[in-house]
Amino acid sequence: MDATISPGLYPLHRCKTPHLVRHAQGIHNVAGEKDPAAYSSEDYFDAHLTPLGWQQVDNLRKHVHETGLSKKVDLVIVSPLLRTMQTAVGMFGGEEYKNGIDVPPLMVANAGESGRPEISRLNCPPFVAFELCREILGGHPCDRRKSISEYQSLFPAIDFFSGKYFIESDNDVLWVADTLEKDEDVVARGMQFLNWLWTRKEKEIAVVSNGGLLYHTLSAFGHDCHPSMKTELCKDMMGSDPATTNYPGKIPSGLDLPSAEKTCRRRKCQSVSFVFRG
């Protein structure tokens, strides 16, 4: 450890633990691995999870239950894209419905060509969709969202509109076809999201988002840490000796995109926990 870097103490009440999750494998990931031009195809507009992606979600759901994380998380914040919402409700969704219970589900049956049964909202944390934690904006149709009205019919129990900065418009007004969001703008958006996260009363919050947003946001941290910690934050979000709540995902682990703009995105469902202090 560099002698110039000293440890610090922070009051517990000034700390939060965000559990950051990258979505599972989507159909655009598979197509883009074969031909990078597929990322520019409207065929993969707001891409849904693959069967392997759903297996990854099932594995991560098992992990969060075995570690007890499912009982600790007070709130789930999710990027308003189909693949991230499928990942989030698959991970943290509730128990099966019982006779006489009639509440809106987190996900209706076969949402997004999932082939999955309805997912309950019983005994699970609240879910909030938040526009600021979306994938890098522009360029690729797979990163353009559907209308919120359509999402609400698929995910009835996700909150889309109740708070400031949640969702500003029913239609996607942020994504621009011919303009890819600059790295520094992604970082600024990610930091704005984290600043908002700090205002929440919840202490343990799961954030189910996209690789590009997570990578660029985390690159803004770690400058006051040992270089090895900076590498963990910005490269794989996973150290060689991870905490019990961390989850490295399952194969395949190859890059989604060979392009320079998004080399951070990976074909695996990944979860890592941090302490966020203010």
Give the Cα separation of 121 and 248 in Å (integer).
26
Does residue 4 lie within any of the structural domains? Answer: no
Nearest-angstrom CA–CA distance, 196 and 134 = 14
Contact 81, 210 (CB under 8 A): yes
Q: Let me know: does 46 contact 146? Beta carbons within 8 Å.
A: yes
Give the residue numbers spanning the domain of 269.
Answer: 13-277
- In this predicted structure, what is the pLDDT of residue 49? 94
In a domain, 1, yes or no: no
Enclosing H/E stretch for 55: helix 51-66
95 in a structural domain: yes
Confidence tier at 190 by pLDDT (50, 70, 90): very high
Examine residue 114 and state whether it is found in any structural domain, yes or no: yes
The pLDDT confidence band at residue 188, using thresholds 50, 70 and 90, is very high
User: Is 137 a domain residue?
Assistant: yes
**Rounded Cα gap, residues 127 and 159, in angstroms:** 6
The contacts of residue 228 (CB under 8 Å, 6+ apart) are: none
Classify residue 164: in a domain, yes or no: yes
CB atoms within 10 A of CB 107: 26
- From the list 75, 81, 196, the residue with the least C-alpha distance to 136 is 81
Query: Active-site residues: which are they?
Result: 23, 135
Residue 2 in domain = no
What's the structural domain count of the chain? Answer: 1
Domain harbouring 239, CATH code: 3.40.50.1240
Question: What confidence tens digit (pLDDT) does each residue in 191-231 have?
Answer: 999 999 988 999 999 999 998 899 888 888 766 666 666 66
As a whole number, mean pLDDT of residues 57-70 equals 92
Instruction: Tell me the per-residue pLDDT of 130-144, one tens digit each, with 9 for 90 and over.
Output: 999 999 998 899 999
5 in a domain, yes or no? no
